[in-house]
């Protein structure tokens, strides 16, 4: 019996080793992770700029406002005679280099609102990974200026490096929300910059649907859904602008703010 | 809704994205756990399928042997079932601790289906216990039919369980197109995520493959018992069992390529670049290895049948033909294994003018390969037919005409396959892909037609002598082992193909793998992992078999004198 | 064996052992010597020879062992070789021969040579879904040659494409578009042969566009180990020029580009 058992083991092992051998005999090709998505320690300015351009035009959603010329300053082209962003960033705030200014305006956008524009820009450091933020800065610097972003600017990725575009809140507590957590709907609307696109009670822009009578078109549930997931539905006549509304409001305000805002809007019949 | 979001977000932020496993690393740990779990799962899903079928044959055909066979299958299931659950739990723990963020993401989408999954496991276990332990109590009349219904129910639970698990992994492969990296997982509709592009093809593919796999493992079990047998009667029983297992495995294998083509098609339609990565990109060599393995399956399966003809009185009439069948199979294997892009050194490359051989390169394209594999399927079917006819003397008056019609059907099917195979060289890719459908249809029609005629032909046929079960040389049993190992290995390989084609994504183009194991390994490394998994699985299965032998007071003994004691192998 | 052979030879021809040996020799001769002689053929790479011979060997082993009687007869000469006193000399020769052969194979494996090792390049690696062409992005998936939208101006584009080809591509890809340009022999990998049914005939135009625009430097890792010398033509040609040269390639070779719907690759 032992002889039979050994023979069986022999046949099994023989077949296994044959297959393993053949698979190892052929040339070995490993599929690598593409370079552009992982900016290593010796990343060149060119690579940063190229990656930043991708983020700027794609996942960062920057072109939604910057570039139309109405909602935010132009960055890639001349803005009121001051040149593209790379040329003017160093002069925007005294005492701040171009790099510092760009980082801070991505990290705390409401601090540097250009006169004539609404404070509608989301906090980009919460939307993008550090690599992506610094790549965008490098790209912006390349527009008329010199790129001085290096790999040392990028903080070493934390063990839980962000997946691109994931929007983390502060752990456990949730976002503080707009206007220091106020539940006054008017303050939220003001702070969130809704009126940069929407019109409400005669104020605001006409880029997006007028919200004055929104309560007669949508119920509270529908409004809530639209704020949390703007792509879920598109108002009639605005199909071409679908996707412009930022998807981040849901993660920027806290639950009571959202509820207050929804009830306020739903009451606008 | 938004507070759920925040909770998930907070959980995701506070956990680290990846854990580490000592020595072999996190990826290898999850790989092994998933693969071994899957192999056991395939076994416990595949075996009930034909336990039920064999029980039905026993009930409606009145052959006691089939009923005993069915019970013997089910006994193997009991232990294998808990092994499946254990490895499933190991996988769950590994995923939750080694890939916590990814796990949280998947769970946020699929939590309800995961609960249903766990619930179904309960139903399935209890149905299995009822099925097995109630076997002797509900043995007669209506109770027996009720018992059989339990078996069907067992399959229903099992199939639903598999469909649910499939939805998770197919979501990773082909998430619906409107889901992007920024989509909040809690807003994704469950059904939307389940019904993704590759879900149904994978379901069907796995369903069929499980039957094949179950048959192969049962065949290996039977051959093990055959080799260990002490009495002729025992040998006869296990020889027969091995034959049934092999028959089921090979018959289901014939359908499998068609399910595979459907899956491939869906992948191409879902994402062209994923399809190209799979078939022409860094994985293209995997298919040459696959072709090799399938050639081994065809050759070994036929070899077993041909040796088996030695125990059938009258089968020697068909002996002279087997060598021509063999020739077709070998030529088919050669064509099928011919790589499109050849490994060559620079001198050979220069002589060939590229890595396509100017002459043999023509064998490397789909037209040739489809033709080869369809002819191999036809040949295997012909082997089965000869085996079946082995000890029959036909008595129906139209025996000769009937056989001529059958031969004509074979000729026509082979003609159609060859015609479209050759014509494929002269038309566009789009048209050519359509041709494979005609080839397949011709083969299937031939199989169906010939089978029907053969059943009619065999009515009232005289026997040239009973099949002498047990009169098999040991090498035929080793062939069954090779089949089982090859099937298992092939399953591991295809699992690597399906999973590896995602490359550095956890969820294709939605969630990126940022761990240090993000790069997809080369085939050499993968083959070592596959061999390791197969070895773990087979060792455990051997243990299960051994346990089955311990517990058993032999199912077949009831037929004989009961003197056959099983040795404690 | 219907041939009329002398009885002595016939005894050999009917013996399974010698049949097996004969089949193996025949297969080897066909693969190594006959196939290269066929018109338009070339030598078969060693890796493929090995693969074919292994398949034939398995087939032969199945043949000799699929029935008891033949298997017993097959083993006779082997048993005799191992035991019969009168075959002592043959036994010695066989043992020495096998040992020598193993040694020779091992030597061949470990010996260092100046030749580059055999390699597998994926000729058609998976394309990215989109590329950046001179700063703006081009989505490759589903993309067709934009110049084909206006069939009436095709002739003009062809003239442009032809001029571009002869000014830029000719030195490597050759006058016949067959990859046999003047410099071709200096390269590894050698330039693509567009006349071959395995190159542009199997590809979508967007794939060809990607390869021309990004050249050797743009190949993913599976396109290595040897780096293609193909330049990044986006640095020298405009998008329109590349599309016209693609038009020219297909027109001149007579291939039609692969279309997008429901394609399944022909490479396995």
- Written as one string, the DSSP assignment of C117-170 is PPB---SSPPPPSEEEETTEEEE-TT---GGGG-GGGHHHHHHHHHHHIIIIIH
How far does B338 lie from chain C, in Å, by closest CA?
Answer: 7
CATH architecture classification, A41-153: Orthogonal Bundle (1.10)
Chain A: residues touching C (Cβ < 8 Å): 26-27, 29-32, 34, 50, 53-54, 57
For residue B212, the number of C-alpha atoms closer than 13 Å in the C-beta half-sphere is: 26
What are B495-505's pLDDT values in tens digits?
Answer: 999 998 888 88
Domain presence at residue C264: no
Confidence of residue C84 (pLDDT cuts 50, 70, 90): confident
d(CA A23, CA B317): 41
What are B245-286's pLDDT values in tens digits?
Answer: 898 888 888 888 778 888 888 888 887 777 777 776 677 788
Q: Are residues C168 and C81 in the same domain?
A: no
Q: Are residues C100 and C211 in the same domain?
A: no
Q: Are residues C139 and C232 in the same domain?
A: yes
Q: How much is the pLDDT for B417?
A: 93
The more confident residue out of A197 and B27 is: B27
Mean pLDDT of B497-519: 85
Of B277, B343, B351, Cβ closest to residue C126: B277
Confidence of residue A179 (pLDDT cuts 50, 70, 90): low
Q: Does A165 contact B528 at a Cβ distance shorter than 8 Å?
A: no
Mean pLDDT of A240-256: 73
Q: Which CATH superfamily is domain A178-266 in?
A: Cytochrome c-like domain (1.10.760.10)
Q: Cβ distance A33 to A164 under 8 Å?
A: no
Q: How much is the pLDDT for B419?
A: 93
How far does B353 lie from chain C, in Å, by closest CA?
Answer: 8
Q: Are residues C145 and C236 in the same domain?
A: yes
Return the domain boundaries, chain A: 41-153, 178-266
The more confident residue out of A230 and C54 is: C54
Question: What range defines the domain where residue C161 resides?
Answer: 130-253
Contact list, B513 vs chain A (CB under 8 Å): 33
Domain presence at residue C42: yes
Domain presence at residue C259: no
What are C189-244's pLDDT values in tens digits?
Answer: 788 888 877 788 878 888 888 888 888 887 776 666 667 888 888 888 888 888 99
d(CA B131, CA B139): 11
A134-156 as b/e: b if 16+ CB within 10 A: bbbbbbbbbbbbebebbbeebee
Q: Are residues C98 and C143 in the same domain?
A: no
Contacts for B347 with CB less than 8 Å, ≥ 6 apart: C115
Contact list, A31 vs chain B (CB under 8 Å): 277, 281-282, 500, 503-504, 519-520
Report whether pLDDT(A167) > 50. no
Mean pLDDT of B348-367: 78
Q: Does C66 contact B345 at a Cβ distance shorter than 8 Å?
A: no
Q: Are residues C146 and C84 in the same domain?
A: no
Report whether pLDDT(B161) > 80. yes
Share of chain B above pLDDT 90, in %: 31
CB-count exposure of residue B53 (10 Å: 0-12, 13-18, 19+): middle
What are B438-490's pLDDT values in tens digits?
Answer: 888 899 899 999 999 998 988 888 888 888 888 888 889 999 999 999 999 99
Phi then psi for B365, rounded to 5 degrees?
-100, 170
Report whether pLDDT(A68) > 60. no
Q: Does C262 contact B430 at a Cβ distance shorter than 8 Å?
A: yes
Same fold, A41-153 and A178-266: yes
Q: Which helix (H) or strand (E) holds C52?
A: helix C46-65
What are C26-71's pLDDT values in tens digits?
Answer: 999 999 999 888 887 888 888 889 889 989 999 999 999 888 888 9
What are B408-430's pLDDT values in tens digits?
Answer: 999 999 999 999 988 888 877 66
Confidence of residue A172 (pLDDT cuts 50, 70, 90): very low
Confidence of residue B300 (pLDDT cuts 50, 70, 90): very high
ipTM of the complex: 0.85
Q: In chain C, whose CA is at the least distance from the CA of B345?
A: C118
Domain tally for chain C? 2
Confidence of residue A147 (pLDDT cuts 50, 70, 90): confident
For residue B431, the number of C-alpha atoms closer than 13 Å in the C-beta half-sphere is: 11
Confidence of residue A36 (pLDDT cuts 50, 70, 90): very low
Of A26, A32, A53, Cβ closest to residue C221: A32
Q: How much is the pLDDT for A169?
A: 36
Q: How much is the pLDDT for B557?
A: 46
Q: How much is the pLDDT for A184?
A: 81
Best residue in B17, B99, B175, B182 for a mutation probing chain A (most A CBs within 10 Å): B182
Q: How much is the pLDDT for A29?
A: 72
Q: Are residues C159 and C85 in the same domain?
A: no
Low-confidence winner among B84-98, B127-141, B417-431, C166-180 (lowest mean pLDDT): B417-431
Q: Are residues C105 and C140 in the same domain?
A: no
Q: Are residues C59 and C144 in the same domain?
A: no
Q: How much is the pLDDT for A162?
A: 38
Report whether pLDDT(C165) > 60. yes
Radius of gyration of chain A (CA): 26
Alpha helices in chain A (DSSP H): 2-25, 45-57, 85-92, 98-107, 124-127, 130-142, 185-192, 214-217, 220-228, 249-252, 255-266
The more confident residue out of A21 and A253 is: A21
Q: How much is the pLDDT for A67?
A: 62
What single-letter DSSP state applies at residue C177? S
């Amino acid at each position: 019996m032992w002889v039979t058992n050994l023979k069986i083991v022999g046949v099994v092992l023989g077949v296994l080793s044959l297959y393993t051998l053949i698979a190892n005999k052929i040339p070995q090709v490993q599929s690598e992770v593409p370079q552009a998505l992982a900016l290593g320690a010796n990343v060149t300015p060119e690579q940063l700029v190229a990656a930043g351009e991708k983020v700027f035009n794609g996942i960062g959603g920057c072109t939604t406002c910057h570039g139309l010329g109405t909602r935010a300053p132009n960055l890639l082209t001349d803005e009121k005679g001051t040149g593209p962003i790379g040329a003017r960033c160093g002069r925007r705030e005294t005492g701040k280099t171009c790099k510092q200014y760009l980082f801070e305006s991505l990290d705390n956008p409401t601090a540097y609102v250009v006169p004539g524009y609404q404070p509608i820009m989301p906090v980009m450091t919460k939307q993008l990974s550090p690599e992506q933020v610094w790549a965008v800065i490098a790209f912006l610097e390349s527009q008329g200026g010199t790129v001085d972003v290096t790999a040392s600017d990028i903080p070493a990725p934390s063990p839980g490096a962000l997946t691109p575009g994931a929007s983390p809140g502060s752990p456990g507590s949730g976002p503080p929300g707009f206007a220091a957590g106020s539940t006054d709907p008017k303050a939220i609307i003001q702070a969130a910059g809704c009126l940069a696109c929407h019109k409400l009670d005669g104020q605001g822009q006409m880029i997006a649907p007028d919200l004055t009578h929104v309560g007669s078109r949508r119920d509270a549930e529908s409004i809530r859904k639209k704020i949390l997931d703007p792509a879920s539905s598109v108002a009639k006549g605005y199909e071409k602008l679908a996707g412009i509304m930022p998807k981040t409001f849901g993660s920027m305000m806290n639950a009571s703010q959202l509820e207050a805002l929804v009830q306020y809007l739903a009451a606008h019949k | 809704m938004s507070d759920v979001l925040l909770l998930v977000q907070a959980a995701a932020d506070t956990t680290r994205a990846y854990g580490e496993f000592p020595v072999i690393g996190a990826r290898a740990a999850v790989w092994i756990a998933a693969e071994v779990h899957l192999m056991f799962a395939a076994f416990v899903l595949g075996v009930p399928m034909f336990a039920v079928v064999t029980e039905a044959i026993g009930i409606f055909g009145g052959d006691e042997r089939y009923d005993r066979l069915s019970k013997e299958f089910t006994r193997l299931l009991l232990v294998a079932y808990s092994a499946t659950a254990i490895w499933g739990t190991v996988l769950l723990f590994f995923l939750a601790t080694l890939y916590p963020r990814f796990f949280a993401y998947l769970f946020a989408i699929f939590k309800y289906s995961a609960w249903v999954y766990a619930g179904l496991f309960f139903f399935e276990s209890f149905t299995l216990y009822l099925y097995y332990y109630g076997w002797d109590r509900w043995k007669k009349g209506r109770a027996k039919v009720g018992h059989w219904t339990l078996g069907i129910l067992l399959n229903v639970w099992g199939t639903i369980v598999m469909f649910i698990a499939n939805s998770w992994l197919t979501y990773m492969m082909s998430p619906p197109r409107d889901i992007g990296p920024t989509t909040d997982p809690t807003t994704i509709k469950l059904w939307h995520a389940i019904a993704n592009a590759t879900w149904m093809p994978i379901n069907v593919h796995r369903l069929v493959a499980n039957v094949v796999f179950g048959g192969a493992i049962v065949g290996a079990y039977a051959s093990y018992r055959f080799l260990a047998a002490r009495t002729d009667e025992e040998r006869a029983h296990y020889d027969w069992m091995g034959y049934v297992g092999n028959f089921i495995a090979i018959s289901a294998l014939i359908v499998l390529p068609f399910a595979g083509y459907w899956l491939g098609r869906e992948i191409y339609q879902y994402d062209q670049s994923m399809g190209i990565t799979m078939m022409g990109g860094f994985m293209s060599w995997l298919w040459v290895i696959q072709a090799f393995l399938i050639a081994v399956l065809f050759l070994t399966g036929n070899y077993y049948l041909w040796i088996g003809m030695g125990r059938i009185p009258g089968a020697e009439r068909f002996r002279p033909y087997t060598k021509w069948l063999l020739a077709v199979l070998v030529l088919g294997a050669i064509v099928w294994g011919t790589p499109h892009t050849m490994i060559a050194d620079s001198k050979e490359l220069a002589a060939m003018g590229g890595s396509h051989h100017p002459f043999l390169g023509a064998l490397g394209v789909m037209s040739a390969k489809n033709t080869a594999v369809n002819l191999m399927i036809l040949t295997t079917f012909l082997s089965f037919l000869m085996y079946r006819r082995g000890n029959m003397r036909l008595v129906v008056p139209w025996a000769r005409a009937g056989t001529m019609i059958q031969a004509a059907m074979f000729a026509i099917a082979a003609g159609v396959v060859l015609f479209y195979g050759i014509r494929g060289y002269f038309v566009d890719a789009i048209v050519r892909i359509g041709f494979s459908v005609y080839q397949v249809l011709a083969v299937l029609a031939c199989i169906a037609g010939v089978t029907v005629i053969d059943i009619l032909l065999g009515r009232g046929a005289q026997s040239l002598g009973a099949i002498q079960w047990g009169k098999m040389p040991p090498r035929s049993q080793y062939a069954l082992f090779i089949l089982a190992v090859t099937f298992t290995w092939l399953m591991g390989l295809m699992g690597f193909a399906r999973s590896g084609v995602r490359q550095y994504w956890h969820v294709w183009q939605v969630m990126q793998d940022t761990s240090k194991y993000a790069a997809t390994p080369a085939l050499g490394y993968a083959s070592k992992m596959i061999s390791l998994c197969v070895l773990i699985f087979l060792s455990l299965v051997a243990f299960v078999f051994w346990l089955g032998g311990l517990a058993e007071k032999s199912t077949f003994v009831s037929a004989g004198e009961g003197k056959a004691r099983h040795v404690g192998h | 064996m219907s041939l009329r052979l002398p009885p002595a030879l016939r005894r050999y021809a009917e013996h399974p052992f010698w049949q097996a040996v004969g089949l193996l020799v025949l297969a080897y001769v066909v693969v190594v010597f006959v196939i290269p002689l066929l018109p338009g053929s070339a030598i078969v790479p060693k890796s493929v020879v090995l693969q074919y011979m292994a398949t034939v060997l398995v087939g032969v082993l199945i043949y000799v062992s699929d029935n008891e009687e033949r298997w017993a007869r097959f083993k006779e000469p082997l048993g005799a070789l191992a035991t019969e006193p009168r075959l002592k000399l043959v036994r010695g020769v066989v043992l020495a021969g096998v040992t020598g052969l193993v040694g020779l194979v091992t030597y061949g494996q470990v010996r260092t040579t100046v030749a580059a090792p055999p390699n597998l390049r994926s000729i058609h690696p998976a394309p990215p879904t989109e590329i950046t062409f001179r700063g703006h992005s081009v989505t490759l998936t589903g993309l067709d040659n934009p110049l084909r939208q206006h069939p009436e101006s095709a002739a003009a584009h062809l003239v442009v494409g032809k001029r571009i080809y002869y000014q830029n591509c000719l030195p490597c890809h050759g006058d016949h578009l067959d990859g046999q340009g003047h410099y071709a022999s200096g390269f590894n990998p050698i330039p693509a042969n567009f006349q071959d049914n395995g190159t542009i005939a199997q590809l979508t135009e967007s794939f060809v566009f990607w390869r021309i625009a990004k050249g050797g430097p743009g190949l993913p890792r599976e396109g290595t180990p040897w780096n293609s010398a193909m330049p990044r033509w986006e640095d020298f040609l405009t998008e329109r020029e590349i599309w016209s040269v693609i038009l020219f390639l297909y027109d001149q070779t007579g291939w039609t580009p692969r279309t997008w719907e429901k394609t399944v690759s022909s490479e396995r």
